[in-house]
Every structure is written in C-alpha cells, then in structure tokens.
Structure 1
Amino acid sequence: MFRHTSSDSADSYYGRLYPGHIPTTVIQKALLAVGSGVAALQNPYRHDMVAVLGETTGHQALINLRNRMRNDPEGDIILTERPRIRLSTLDLNKMASLPDGSFGREYLRFLEDNKVTPDTRADVKFVDNEELAYVMQRYREVHDLLHTILGMPTNMLGEVVVKWFEAAQTGLPMCVLGAALGPLRLNASRLQSLFTSVGPWALHSGRQARCVLSVFYERRWEQSLEDLREELHIQPPPLLTAASP
C-alpha cells in the first residue's frame, strides 16, 4: 500500500502520495474533522468517521510517534519493512495450534470470541505524508492487538479503557476525544469501574509502556502474553465486573 512504484509518479503529479491518498487543503481537513467528529459523537461505532477524524487531526502526534519508532531498533525495522496485519498475512492454522496463554493464540481467541477481523480497518486516505500514513495504518491495525494485550472486551467499557490507554500512549487527538467523551455512554456501574479501577490502570500503563507501535507483533505470536506485557511494562489488567452493557 505504501510503496512507491513507477505508476506512483503519475499519482504524485496529481497530489497523491500513495495509493488511495486523497489530497486535501487545510480548510477541507477542518471541515472533514468537524463533520466526522459530529458523526462519531452521535455514533461511536461509525469507524469510518472515527478514521477520518483521526487522519485530519493527528499530524503532530503522528510525527511524534514516527520519531519514537525511528529511535527504537525494532520500530525502525517496522518503518522500513512496512508489515501489515491482515487475514492474508496471518497463518490462522498455526496460531490456533499455539498453546493457551501465547500471544498468537490469545489474539486469535479475541478475534473469534468478538467476531471481528483485522480486515475491517480502513485504509488511510487523508494523511499528506506517505510515512506518516503508514504510522496511522499501523496504529489502526495494532488496535485489536491492544485489546488482547490489555485484556479488554469490545463492549463500550472495554473500548473506552483502550482509548484511555491509547490517549496516554499516542497523544492522538482522536484518542483523547474518545477517552474524554466515551464515559458519557457508560452506565453507573461501569463508570464506577472505569474511574476507580481500570481507568487509572489504563492511563498509568499508557504513560509508562514502551511505544506499542514499535513492536513487531508478527514475530511474537509464540511469545507468552504474560512475557509480552512484562516487556512492554504493562501490568496485568484489573478484573472487570460483570456489569450490564
């Protein structure tokens, strides 16, 4: 997706920096940000609108993340090789054969239990830098891995907890906004769990953890989830109460 080819030269002539890129002015980005922000607030499950909001507001945060990756040996390899987390790149049979507790087996379990697939992550369109576009794409494709690492389900509480972690870890305005407004959609029991238990844990973990985009997860499937958390400086998650959605 993010490699320049001979045909890319023609695209670049028309302002396209990578396949699928849509050039936009500052004013157009502002309008897209406002429109997508309103739509995302009305329906947080509109992942297309959340994606547009992230791309049109995250330029400086993406630069910071890219620099953190460049300064990490493993992150630098990722920026060079540009791996993608897609069904076409995953060996699901091998992952299914891994022992319980391994990162790959637990990630596959997460996908199966929540009936989700990495292929639902939209391609980047509005980031006007080819390398930063890959950083945003990597962030999106790592999101479900974070659910596995953090031990969070895909219900509203789990999504808010992951957003609190991502806000502290990435500084992306989209994540900060989601972290701030997500609690408004929680009931009283889940709010109590968020503010007294899993929320502070997520913020602390996000601040102290190694840059989660600088890990070559595709080479870590056989590693135990416990060891991976320890390497990332993430403590095991607090237990979630069985509150209603």
Structure 2
Amino acid sequence: MSVLGKRSVVLAARDLNLLSFSAPLTLTLTHSLRSRARPFSVFNRPPPNYPGHVPLNFVERGALAVGSAVGALLNPRRADLIAACGEATATPYFIYRLRDAMLSDPTGRQILRDRPRITSESLQLPYLRTLPPNTVGRTYATWLDREGVSPDTRDNVQYIDDPECAYVMQRYRECHDFYHAVTGLPIFVEGELALKAFEFLNTLIPMTGLSLFASVRLKPAERERLFKIYLPWAVRSGLKSKELINVYWEKVLEMDVDVLRGELGIERPPDMREIRRLIREQKKRERELLERQGA
C-alpha cells in the first residue's frame, strides 16, 4: 500500500472515531438545549420522585407557603393547610437539618433504613390498651381514646422533592401524637400551640414556630396561660430535650413513660385539662353565689 493510501485509511479511521464519540455528545447537548428551552413551569413539570409527589417551582412553593399559612391562621383546625405550610417552609434547609440529625444518630439511621409507618394496624392499638397503665404504649392509646383521634388521619407528604427528606417529614408528622401523649397536652388550640412551641425548639421546623401566631385567636385567659405557663415550659423542655425524631417509638411501647421522659429530658407540663376544669368549676361557683345573693 502506498503512503497516500495509508494516509487515507488513517484519516478515515480518525473520522470514524470522532463520529462515534461525538454522537453521544450531540445527543447530550441536544437534550440540554431542549431542557433549557423548556424550563420548569406549570406546563413542563418534572416527573414525581415518589408516589404522590407534586414538584413545585420557587414561585409555587412561595405561594403555597403564604396561602396555607394564612388559611391555617384563620382556621387552626385545618390540618391539611398546616401540613402544606410545614412542607412548603421546610425546604431548602430545615428538613435537611432534621434528616442530618437522624443520620448522625444510630437510632435515627435505623429508622431511615426501616422507614416504619405509624398506623392503627402497625401499632396494634388493641394490644396497647392491654399494657400496664404507665407504659408508653398504654399512655399513647389512652391519649388517643380520650382525645378521639386516630393515627390513620395524617396527610401524606407531597411537596418535598427529596424522597428521604419526604419520609423524615412524614415520620415527624406521624410521631406528633406521641409527643402529645408523652406531654399530656390535649388537641384543642391552646394545647396544640404549647406543643408546637416545644416542637419548634426541638426540631426547628418553621411551621411549628409560625403556628404561635394563632395565639391571637385565643381567649384572653387562654392566651395568658399559654404565655405564663406553657411557653416557659416549652422553652425549658425544648432546649434541653434530645431530638425526638430519633425515638423509635415502636420499640419503646412497653417502656415506663416516666423513664422515657427522663431519658429524653422532657419535663411534663401542668395538666391543661385539669386547669381548665378547675377554672370552670370556680366560675360556676361564683355564678351560683351571685345568683343566691341576687335572690
């Protein structure tokens, strides 16, 4: 073969190699250009990262945060609005901080590996009602029965993009009733706000702190109790308690609840229901006394 022929073969091979490498590059550049040409929008939403996930852009997330916060303030019993506000305001920092707190703890890492869900079936509520009175499981079941609530009513997370962080938010949401049971706080607005103040200092989730704005809807006597009794309690316990997100509740159901409070650093607050009952009885006696004096 002549030198000219060898040169032609070499050039042909070089061109073939260039084509083979440039084809994927061309496809990548084309895909990139198409992505840039069609940015994230209502009409160009990326696929969900997990079942039920709803991807949001920055504007949508901001609108959801503001709208749900205002709606929850007007009606603090709208659990769906409170849940949406919690998800919209937890990113980009706070839910990752909570996830990292779980990753830095052996029990937290196990929870993330197992990803248990808290439902009436997974906890076997009939069994919990048979446990000794001062166990965690019996305390939890008794609280559920007294307040007339169920662990099956928690909304599923939708607006957090990272699947692992979405589970962390779901776990926090489903453990909320355990926090109620361990502290003894009831579900009416005064009790919820006291617990939310505690949760804010324990988890730093913004929604829990924002919930305190709902105190403007309390009656003067309720607001006074909240700020004089329960907020000081929330600050004391919230600052010194361990991260409750790292409690594997399913594994401590037979544990003495007082021992668990001690290990977690939670001070039990004054019984809110008992305080309210005593105040009602006092007001009733005062009315009866006035009626007798008037007669």
TM-score by length of 2: 0.76
1:138 equivalenced with 2:171 (yes/no):
yes
Residue 33 of structure 2 is aligned to residue 35 of structure 1? no
Tell me the distance in 1 between the aligned counterparts of 2:69 and 2:146. Answer: 30
Q: Deviations over 1:148-188 (max 9, x none)?
A: 11110111111010011011111111111002x13212222
Higher helix share: 2
Number of the residue aligned with 2:230: 198
Paired with 1:196 and 1:32, the residues of 2 have a C-alpha distance of 33
Deviation at 1:93, TM superposition (A): 2.1
Partner of 2:292: none
Query: Corresponding residue for 2:108?
Result: 75
Between 84-93 and 112-121, report the one with greater CA deviation: 84-93
Cα distance in 1 between the residues matched to 2:122 and 2:271: 32
Give aligned-pair identity as a percent. 39
Unaligned runs of 5+ in 2: 1-44, 281-295
| 1:221-232 correspondence runs (5 A) | 221-232=253-264
Q: Which entry has the higher C-alpha Rg, 1 or 2?
A: 2
1:50 aligns with 2:82: yes
1:79-90 matches, cutoff 5 A:
79-90=112-123
Equivalent residue letter for 1:98 = L
TM-score when normalising by structure 1? 0.91
In structure 2, what is the equivalent of residue 116 of structure 1? 149
User: Once the 2 structures are TM-superposed, how far is the Cα of residue 238 of structure 1 from its aligned partner?
Assistant: 2.2
SS at 1:17's partner residue?
coil
Please list every run of 5 or more consecutive structure 1 residues that lacks an aligned counterpart in the other structure: 1-12
Q: Structure 2 vs 1, CA of residues 124 and 42 (structure 1 numbering), >3 Å: closer, same or farther? A: same
What's the offset of the Cα at 1:31? 1.2
1:212 corresponds to 2:212: no
| Superposition deviation, residue 14 in structure 1 | 4.5
Corresponding letter in the other structure for 1:137: Q
Count matched residues.
231
Q: Which amino acid aligns with 2:64?
A: L
Instruction: Give the ranges of 4+ consecutive aligned residues of structure 1 lying more than 3 Å apart after TM superposition.
Output: none
Q: Tell me, in whole angstroms, the C-alpha distance in 2 between the residues paired with 1:141 and 1:86.
A: 8
Higher mean alpha-carbon deviation, 110-119 vs 87-96, is at 87-96
